[in-house]
Amino acid sequence: MLDDSLIRALIAGIGIALVAGPLGCFVVWKRLSFFGDTLAHSALLGVLLSISFDINVSFTIFAVSSLVALLLLRLEKSTNLAGDALLGLISHSSLAVGLLILGFLSFIRFDIMGILFGDILSVNTNDLLVVWIGGALILIVLRYIWKPLFASTVNFDLAEAEGMKPERVNAIFTILLAALIAISIKMVGVLLITGLLIIPTAMARNLSNNPKQMVILSVVGGLLSVFIGLYASFEINTASGPSIVSVALILFILSLIKLQKKN
């Protein structure tokens, strides 16, 4: 039952859940879930570029998603388009262009479902290194910018007036988000990654009354989703991404019951 690839997938999943918890909290607090979606969709372009030019896939996704993130920050300032419309524009065009290119790449055989929804069987030892080293770096940087990032989330002007450089830490945060997407695409897939970011966090919000508690609970929720989701995925042969996200959804629904009892 405990196949090597399941263990590899679990180790990778734990790493991703540890990073997704705290980042997910900020995504929810800052109302960036659609932003995360956009970065994830642009990751498809990253995957295709990496296949076409034979470059490391995580690195290419990171580069493309970071570029899109910085481009978005720029456009938000220089155009009059509302934030969500702008995100929709970039998000769906990158998905469309990505799928078009995919059509032209018919001479290369690869698993499109794996990219869109994640594939645990494809996780190799190399990927484990990418997840854990990349994840550790993300957490270290996040720890470093935590205070200014949190302050600017609560009130941008207040943070800036008191010398916390909110614009800079916000930009760094979006790059961390791109990095998380890069290391977790193989496991969760392009379409569902934001689910892993925000659903355990939404569950945690229902159960917590301070920020630290919410971060810890969202990590716990993420870990549970990964454990149960991967096990199910392996046993009943479902795609890993949807399995993990579905478990997260069940946990969220359970937390709603708790919330209603409290009120």
Partner 1 sequence: MIENNILVKLSNAGIMKDNKWLVQDVDLEINKGQIVTLIGPNGSGKTTTAKIALGLYKNIEGKVERFTKNISYVPQKVSIDWTLPLRVVDFMVLTQDLKSKDITDALNLTGVEHLMNSNLRDLSGGEFQRVLLARAIAKKPELLVLDEPVQGVDFNGEVALYSLIKKISEAIKCGILLISHDLHVVMSATDYVVCLNGHVCCSGTPIDVAKSDHYRELFGEKSSQLLSIYEHNHDHVHSTDGDIVKDAK
Site residues (vs partner 1, CB under 8 A) = 28-29, 31, 147, 150-151, 153-155, 157-164, 205, 208-211, 213-214
Minimum CB separation from partner 1 for residue 167, in Å?
Answer: 10
In this complex, which beta carbon is closest to partner 1, that of residue 78 or of residue 209? 209
Relative orientation angle of helices 33-53 and 166-188, to the nearest 10 degrees: 60
In this complex, which beta carbon is closest to partner 1, that of residue 31 or of residue 92? 31
In this complex, which beta carbon is closest to partner 1, that of residue 118 or of residue 195? 195
Secondary element (H or E) of residue 189: none
Minimum CB separation from partner 1 for residue 146, in Å?
Answer: 12
Minimum CB separation from partner 1 for residue 145, in Å?
Answer: 13
Calpha distance 32→91 (Å, rounded):
13
Q: Shortest CA distance to 61 belongs to which of 179, 192, 226?
A: 179
Relative orientation angle of helices 57-78 and 125-154, to the nearest 10 degrees: 20
| Torsion angles phi and psi, residue 187, rounded to 5 | -80, -45
Check residue 81 and report its DSSP letter.
S
In this complex, which beta carbon is closest to partner 1, that of residue 46 or of residue 221? 221
Minimum CB separation from partner 1 for residue 260, in Å?
Answer: 16
